[in-house]
Structures are given as structure tokens and as C-alpha cells.
Structure 1
């Protein structure tokens, strides 16, 4: 009979690694065989993300730190997390109204960091940190993992990237030609050189510092796979699937392991029960987030009238919610000891 620990490890591996790999591979193969779908169909993963992993993955932030610290949910925790979302979220939302181009740039940089840190955790806690033992190696991993979804589409699909950027800042009545320098051949060449350098540095440093090649091979395999994926799949579709089925799924896996009840269900290989429990916990604040998106739709200077506008509203709303969410996840990383002084030893 499989032990509870072995059963949990297999279930966690399937959720955190197999599901993301399969989802992205199917998407890439479909694009290769049938060509890219129209933009309307490329937006379907973003529509699905409202209920399928994407939006809900950050909707239990009020529970995350109490779980990590082994504390009950109290009014103090609700006030701390609620206050963080109110202050940081409103501050960043105001930047969108006052300086949309700056806000868009911050969105890219913030997501670059956050999606990088989202991939660092499973490499450390689920695969073993044999090649990520120093703070420098971990910072490099965050940089390269975030670069793949945020920078490679700019290199391979500048027109699509430019369209998305124009939709977001266009909601605020800004002349979108201000973005043109970001998409010039020179800028794209610089971005490509930076990403290539990060990839090579990560692979070489990881290889030479690893005690066991297994974890490094997993990391290297994902770097190659994700590079090919983001260079060949149109960015709206590529990032939509990545958001739902890679980043969000991995974060939810982390949360399930922090929740004692869900972790027990994983040990018994009751993945459906653990996910159902998470879904119930995430539903109230996911609905609350939809109200925020509705408020944005009413507040932006250019009223949304079609599906591209609604897509832009959704991304701006996600950006506003991501700012405090990044702080929560960073706090969680600190509690997990990812950046402690013992890392370098």
C-alpha cells in the first residue's frame, strides 16, 4: 500500500507539474497543427480564468498567512490583509488614472517578478533546491522565469503585444503612440539579448552548483519548454493558458499544502475534495473582485463598449489586485525561509 506521504507527493506532482505541462503542450500543438485562432477565441482562457484557477488563486490571501504561521483566522488578520488590499490596491489604481503608461510598465515589472517567484517555490519545495541553494541563484531564477511570459512575447509577437498595451492605456484616454518606443527593433533586440543572457546564466550556474542533476534537469527542461512555447504561441492565448493552468495551479498547490485539511485530503489522494474545498474558500472574494472590475468599468474615462475593452478592464483589475497579492506571496516566501541568511551556507 502506498504511504500517505507517497500518495500526497504523487498527487502534488501531478497537480503542480503534469497539469501545467500538459495544458501548455496541448495549446502549442494545437497552434502548430491548426494555426492560431482569432483574437476572440484567444481570449477564452482569460474568460475561463474568472472561475477556473486564475482569479480565485489570489482570493484566499486572508487565509494564506494564518495557514503558514499555524494561526487561526482572526479579526486582526482580516484587518491586516484587508488594509493591505485597500491601501496598496487604491494607490496602484490611482496610478492607472494619473499615469497609465507608467502603470502599464509597473504591471509588466510586477508580473515579471510575481510569476518568477511563483515558479521558484515549486522548484525549491517540490523538486528539491539542490541547484538553488544561494540567494543569487534564486534571484536569477525569478528573473528568468518571469522573463519568459513577460518578455519573450514582445520579441516574437510585437504587434500583438502592442495591441494589448494599447487596449489597456487606451481605456484612460491616453495617446497610445507613447508606447511605440517600447516596440522598436532596437528595444526588442535589447530585450532578446537580456532574456538570452538570463537563460544561459541560469542554466550554467545551476548546472555547476547542483549536487544532484535531477532538480536541475527539471528546471532546465521547463526553461526550454517555456521558451519555445512563448516564442511560438500568440501571446494572448499563451499567457491566458499560462495564467490559468501554470501560475495559478502552482500557487493553489502551495495553498493546499498549507491548509491542514486540504493537505490531509491530498495525502489520501482526494484531489477533487481538496480543490472543492479551495473553491468554496475562494468564491466570496472572487465575487468581490468582480465588483471591483465593475467599478473600474464605470470609472475609466473611455467607457468599455466591446470585448477588447472588457478584456482590458479585466487586465487592469487583475493588475490592481496583483499588487497587494505580490506582497502577501513575498511575505509567505520570507516565512518559508527562501531568503534567510542560511540560504548561502
Structure 2
């Protein structure tokens, strides 16, 4: 399947249900929600989270962009992928403050662009949608749970060997970001309405509301985990299944009947690289000194692992799967792009 035709063309029913369920649980049983959600997210981080990038080596052949033999291609792919991952790892080792900042910026872009609907010929709208969605995922927790977010960010900086953020600097950033994100979404929806893309505006507004409730009710790290596992990672798997030739069933049945088969289809292809990927956190656990409490150390290792693997993964998604969105409109008067 051509990369330009790969889009999130189906409603993420299961992801909506997972996020809504976590929010309802936190509202009904705020004291017990972390104990219930914690193990679920932990298992999901391996089964869906780490695994969702473990089929990257299959994307180029599936989109018809490999002309050489399979062994030659895999050799070049592995070399390039590992080189980017190694560069990210060296960045964390030598320039931890810069690496942490770049990790958050790359994550904002990668998560946001994954959620943005395909908009070939409307480059500016696609970029705006991507950046606003990615920023939303951090703006709300930073504003609503400032102490928890600052503790987590500073713990990560300390683990990496960088100076922690001051309270005043972090507070200013948190208070300044969310109004910009809020106004930006209003402008985005107005642009969709002006183009008579009412369904797109309604869908995005509904998703923003759903995610906002999640980040207001569930503690921030758990909320980010729920989003990453059951929204970002799952939707990426389903998206790649279309590339790999798995037939789209369509309709609500996807969420409740077929999602298990879809995950199994993807996992069979992801398992070899997933097992290799597990070496990264195990190696970091042995190399990183015990600077923090055990829980913070494990959290930091998980984030650093994600950062090292996210750079090549995000680059592949943006360049190959999202290639159609980068083409600005040509000879189309009145179309932003």
C-alpha cells in the first residue's frame, strides 16, 4: 500500500472507551484508581507501548519503497536505526538537559501528528492540528498537576545528570502554555467550520474533551500511560495493519470483536524486534547509578528507553507514513498549505 494513502480512517472506538473508563474509575473511586490502573498500564507498556514501534523495519517493504534484496535492506535499516538510537543515547549521556528538552518536543510532535487526521494539500492545518494536540497532552497535566509534573521532570533531569527546573520557571511555563493551546484549538475549529469540515471539528472537539477529562481526573503519569498505551500505541498498530494487508472491518465491531485479532496479527510481526528492544531498559538499569528512589529510577529508565527508541521511530512515521500530508496544496485557490 502506498504510504501516502495510509491514514487513520476509522474511529478509535476502543481507545475512546479505554480513556473514558479510566476517567470514570478515577471519578467514582479516586483513591483506588491508581492501584487498578497501574498494573494494567504496566502490562500495556510492554504489550502495546514498546511493541508498537517493533515493526518499523517492515514499513518500507510494505509500502513498496525497497528495491534491493531483503538482507541488504535489513542491514542498512538496522544500521541507520541503531545509529539514530545511539545518537539519542549519547545525547542523554553528554547533554542531558538538551536531550530532555528535545525528547519532550519530539514527543509532542510524534503524538500530535499521530492523532491528526490526514489532510493532503492542507499542510498548515495538519501542522496546526498536530502541534496543538501534542501540546494539549502536556499542557493540561502541567497546569492541573504542577507539583507532580515538576517532580517527575526534575527526577528525570536528575537521573540524566542535569540541573532541575526551578519552581518559578516551571510555574510560568505551565500557566502560559494552556491558554495558548486553548485559543489555538478554537482557531483550528473555526478554520474547519469555515471550510465546512464540521465533522472534523466535532470529532476533534470531542477528543479534546475526552482527553481533558482524563488528565483532570487521573494522576498525570497514569493518565499519560493510559493515553500512550490505549490510544497512541493501539492506533499506530491498527494503522500499520492496513499497511501490512490486514483487512479493515470498519464500524464499532473493530473495538469490541476484532481488536484482539488485530493486536495478535501485529504482535506476531513485532515479537523479534520487541525482544531485542527489551535489552535497552535492562542495560540502562545496570548502567544507571541509583540516584533516586527505586520507583523514580524505574520511571526514568522507562522514559530514557522511550526517548532513545522514539527518535528513529518518529522520523520513520513522519517521513514515510505521513508523506502525503507534507505535500502542500498546488493549484488549489483558497486552500491553506
Q: Under a length normalisation based on structure 1, what TM-score does the superposition of the two structures give? A: 0.83
Task: Tell me which of 216, 227, 247 is aligned to 1:263.
Answer: 247
Q: 2:102 is matched with which residue?
A: 106
Query: Structure 1 unaligned runs (5+)?
Result: 1-11
Closer, same or farther in 2 for the Cα pair 1:19/1:56, shift >3 Å? same
Closer, same or farther in 2 for the Cα pair 1:96/1:70, shift >3 Å? closer
Q: 2:192 is matched with which residue?
A: 206
Q: 2:87 is matched with which residue?
A: 91
Task: Tell me which of 178, 196, 208 is aligned to 1:223.
Answer: 208
Distance in structure 2 (CA, Å) of the matches to 1:133 and 1:251? 22
Moved more, 70-79 or 51-60: 70-79
Task: Tell me which of 62, 69, 87 is aligned to 1:67.
Answer: 62
Distance in structure 1 (CA, Å) of the matches to 2:47 and 2:331? 38
Task: Tell me which of 28, 31, 36 is aligned to 2:26.
Answer: 31
Is residue 78 from structure 1 mapped to residue 63 from structure 2 by the alignment?
no
Closer, same or farther in 2 for the Cα pair 1:90/1:36, shift >3 Å? farther
Task: Tell me which of 321, 324, 327 is aligned to 1:340.
Answer: 327
- Cα deviation, residue 343, structure 1: 6.7
Distance in structure 2 (CA, Å) of the matches to 1:34 and 1:223? 23
Q: 1:300 is matched with which residue?
A: 288
Aligned-CA RMSD value: 2.7
Distance in structure 2 (CA, Å) of the matches to 1:139 and 1:21? 23
Closer, same or farther in 2 for the Cα pair 1:161/1:39, shift >3 Å? farther
- Asked whether the equivalents of residues 26 and 33 of structure 2 are also in contact (C-alpha less than 8 Å), the reply is no
- Asked whether the equivalents of residues 142 and 174 of structure 2 are also in contact (C-alpha less than 8 Å), the reply is yes
- Asked whether the equivalents of residues 96 and 161 of structure 2 are also in contact (C-alpha less than 8 Å), the reply is no
Q: 2:174 is matched with which residue?
A: 188
Task: Tell me which of 304, 319, 326 is aligned to 2:314.
Answer: 326
- Cα deviation, residue 58, structure 1: 0.3
- Cα deviation, residue 116, structure 1: 0.7
- Cα deviation, residue 303, structure 1: 6.2
Closer, same or farther in 2 for the Cα pair 1:78/1:134, shift >3 Å? same
Closer, same or farther in 2 for the Cα pair 1:226/1:39, shift >3 Å? closer
- SS of the aligned residue for 2:126 comes to helix
Q: 2:221 is matched with which residue?
A: 236
- Asked whether the equivalents of residues 173 and 302 of structure 1 are also in contact (C-alpha less than 8 Å), the reply is no
| 1:230-263 alpha-carbon deviations (Å, 9 max, x no partner) | 2332211111010110001111111000012x23
